Structure 1
Amino acid sequence: MQIDADTPMVPTRHWHRLADGRLQCDVCPRECKLQEGQRGLCFVRGRYGDQVVLTSYGRASGFAVDPIEKKPLYHYLPGSRILSFGTAGCNLSCRFCQNWDMSRSREMDRLQARATPEELAQMARQHGCRSVAYTYNDPVIFLEYATDTARACHEAGIRSVAVTAGYINPGAREDFFAPMDAANVDLKSFDEAFYWKLCGGHLEPVLETLRYLRRHTGIWLELTTLLIPGQNDDPAELDAMTRWVVETLGPDVPMHFTAFHPDWRMTDLPPTPPETLRHARRIARDNGVHHAYTGNVRDPEGSTTWCPACGAPLIRRDGYRILEMRLKPGGHCPDCGSVCAGVF
């Protein structure tokens, strides 16, 4: 592992020594087994000095102040601003990655912005952000940096949002999500073959993460599925996925179906037709999902929050911009009084 004088080497927690002398990283299901000087597939965790260290602590690939709807989160502090940042590397190898310049980076010079957890919390306050998002690449691989930042944010009155694929092991899972307030989990498909062939991972650990979040935490949860033509947009798969969500996670977990555009190693496929997204939304609603949305397309109906009880529009959006917020205090529908699930 190439280490320069400016690279931080922060000791990590989730690893153990194997009988053959290698160190196994236990953060995610890849469980990389490392000789001295080797990095894991994520690139930012590696063995150095007979321990597993994080080499991206305090260094980011950039910052942005976004509407929280861009994460996407539609039921968590709608209309608020969120400070977004990430590092480099990833523990999945999705061929369709839309942030591949960061997640697939193997150059530490991508990480030119430096910020301590306390500085990030103050940056969020200075820009009027109510929360910080750990995003762009998957934050589970910079777990220590993300959780330290989340704790610093809480001390400053700022909330934390994890934007993640949920590919993480028990133990690390509890550690990572403990200081988080909300999460958008990328449920890439409901098919094991898709996860293995196109992402280099497995479906079941992601489902385990979703079960954990709903059953054992108070974290606000939303889901996103990027629909790729001919890969994960089959109506039968979407039917099975949305039925599982309602039966296992509950009908109030919002689902976002977003449009793919050709990128990284899947430039031979066309963009997702808007009708595919609208059809996925219909399947979800027919199966009992109360809040199903379309994304990356102009679709007023698919971006509106509707009351699941009376069907009245509650929040109208144009892209990431809120046009009308009709919710009463406590998230109540102004027409029938029913409560809309979320944090408002």
Structure 2
Amino acid sequence: MISATENIKEAKWWKPAENGKILCTLCPRYCTIGEGQIGFCFIRQNIGGKLYTIGYGRPTGFAIDPIEKKPLNHFLPGTEILSFGTAGCNLGCKFCQNWSISKAKYDNLNSLNYSPEEVVMLAKRYKVPSIAYTYNDPTIFGEYVIDISKIAREEGIKSVMVTAGYIDKDARKEVYKYIDAANVDLKGFTERFYHKLTFSHLNDVLDTLIWLKKETDIWFEITTLLIPDENDNPEEIKQECNWILNNLGDEVPLHFTAFHPDFKMRDKNRTPHETLIMARNIALQAGIKFCYIGNVHDDEGQTTYCPNCKYKLIVRDWHSVLKYNLTGNKCPKCNSIIPGVFE
């Protein structure tokens, strides 16, 4: 029997501001929140001069997904992962494909009551090796992430952040303390795109990516959802790839995924398959070793190749692994080491 958890918990990452208000320091939005008010994310509220996370222990639902759906292609490929999120989000993406929960307040949804211990117990019950904090951005329920991921690590279960990477420099050190892997949405590569379509800023996300690479041991991959006429310009894609090479190296997997009309961008067309192929070719020609295509069927664009001898190491169809030819973390043909976590 699942027992109820408290619906609110005093938040970390805040300090008093003027006139009885509170400054939330969890993300670069730095909301100033008055008595009784909630922040931009909908789940951090000023109650009596203290900041509370009112979505703590209140997931909106669970699913067992293939880990390739996150997408992660170099972290325990072919395994399943327990996925969940809460209400709210700290970005305002007009193209959000999970808007029914990310733009909702937790009390407007039929949310569940699960303590951190119960979430980990659920993963053990279904015998999955990892838990994904996903659907909305887990940054906003960072306290819940910390408590779950700490217990999960003690139980030998991995933790995965699926995130936009829009988080304060100090807060991320705590939120990611027990995290094993992440997929970071690099939503575009211009400040115009970030400001206009996500109500956030590009440089804060780039800073998180550099921090993940240089100051942590967390395995991470990058996803860019290509939206027609917004962030699919070949020159912009080339600039993104060059930035990744210069700041993160050539071994960080990059995923280009297809947009479908949703939320406040229903007037846009779906991303043509040809655009995804073009973007992948730009990345490979620039020197990125592992680039994938998502949200469409594409045998070549979803297969992991050895960058040295071009042997097919992992053959996929969308989120399904059809063939797995790795020997540990090595190519069986040329013995090259393939970056990632494979066992």
Q: Same fold (TM over 0.5)?
A: yes
Partner Cα separation in structure 2 for residue 203 and residue 309 of structure 1: 33
Secondary structure of the 1:283 match is: helix
Describe how 1:184-195 pairs up with structure 2 within 5 A: 184-195=183-194
1:3 corresponding residue in structure 2: none
1:76 corresponding residue in structure 2: 75
1:208 corresponding residue in structure 2: 207
Q: Does 1:332 align with 2:339?
A: no
Partner Cα separation in structure 2 for residue 297 and residue 194 of structure 1: 24
Given that residues 60 and 111 in structure 1 are in contact (C-alpha distance below 8 angstroms), is that contact kept between their aligned partners in structure 2?
no
What letter is aligned with 1:170?
K
| Residue in structure 2 matching 1:341, options 333, 336, 339 | 339
What are the Cα deviations for residues 67-99 of structure 1, in whole angstroms up to 9, with x where unaligned? 101100000000111000000000000000000
1:252 corresponding residue in structure 2: 251
1:282 corresponding residue in structure 2: 281
Partner Cα separation in structure 1 for residue 106 and residue 65 of structure 2: 26
2:29 corresponding residue in structure 1: 30
Partner Cα separation in structure 2 for residue 197 and residue 112 of structure 1: 31
Partner Cα separation in structure 2 for residue 16 and residue 260 of structure 1: 39
Given that residues 67 and 80 in structure 2 are in contact (C-alpha distance below 8 angstroms), is that contact kept between their aligned partners in structure 1?
yes
Describe how 1:8-23 pairs up with structure 2 within 5 A: 8-23=7-22
Point out where structure 2 has 5 or more consecutive residues left out of the alignment. Answer: none
TM-score, normalised by the number of residues in structure 1 = 0.97
Describe how 1:1-344 pairs up with structure 2 within 5 A: 8-329=7-328, 331-344=329-342
What are the Cα deviations for residues 279-299 of structure 1, in whole angstroms up to 9, with x where unaligned? 000001111111000000000
Give how far 1:198 is off. Answer: 0.5
What letter is aligned with 1:59?
R
What letter is aligned with 2:312?
P
Give how far 1:170 is off. Answer: 1.0
Partner Cα separation in structure 2 for residue 143 and residue 32 of structure 1: 16
What letter is aligned with 2:310?
G
Partner Cα separation in structure 1 for residue 60 and residue 18 of structure 2: 37
Given that residues 20 and 49 in structure 2 are in contact (C-alpha distance below 8 angstroms), is that contact kept between their aligned partners in structure 1?
no
TM-score, normalised by the number of residues in structure 2 = 0.97
What are the Cα deviations for residues 185-230 of structure 1, in whole angstroms up to 9, with x where unaligned? 0000010000000011100000000010000000001000000000
After superposition, the CA RMSD in angstroms is 1.2
What letter is aligned with 1:335?
K
What is the total number of aligned residue pairs between the two structures? 339
Secondary structure of the 2:247 match is: helix
What are the Cα deviations for residues 162-194 of structure 1, in whole angstroms up to 9, with x where unaligned? 000000111111111111000000000010000
Given that residues 242 and 289 in structure 1 are in contact (C-alpha distance below 8 angstroms), is that contact kept between their aligned partners in structure 2?
yes
What letter is aligned with 1:146?
V
Give how far 1:34 is off. Answer: 1.1
User: Kindly tell me: are residues 313 and 326 of structure 1, through their superposed partners in 2, closer, same or farther at Cα, counting changes over 3 Å?
Assistant: same
Give how far 1:7 is off. Answer: 6.8
Secondary structure of the 1:171 match is: helix
What letter is aligned with 1:186?
D
What letter is aligned with 2:187?
K
Give how far 1:107 is off. Answer: 4.7
Give how far 1:20 is off. Answer: 3.8
Query: In terms of mean alpha carbon deviation, does 7-16 or 124-133 score higher?
Result: 7-16
Secondary structure of the 1:204 match is: helix
Partner Cα separation in structure 2 for residue 98 and residue 109 of structure 1: 18
Given that residues 79 and 322 in structure 1 are in contact (C-alpha distance below 8 angstroms), is that contact kept between their aligned partners in structure 2?
yes
Partner Cα separation in structure 1 for residue 231 and residue 6 of structure 2: 39
What are the Cα deviations for residues 299-320 of structure 1, in whole angstroms up to 9, with x where unaligned? 0000000001111110000111
Given that residues 88 and 111 in structure 1 are in contact (C-alpha distance below 8 angstroms), is that contact kept between their aligned partners in structure 2?
no
Partner Cα separation in structure 2 for residue 110 and residue 21 of structure 1: 30
Given that residues 56 and 111 in structure 1 are in contact (C-alpha distance below 8 angstroms), is that contact kept between their aligned partners in structure 2?
no
Give how far 1:18 is off. Answer: 2.0
What letter is aligned with 2:21?
R
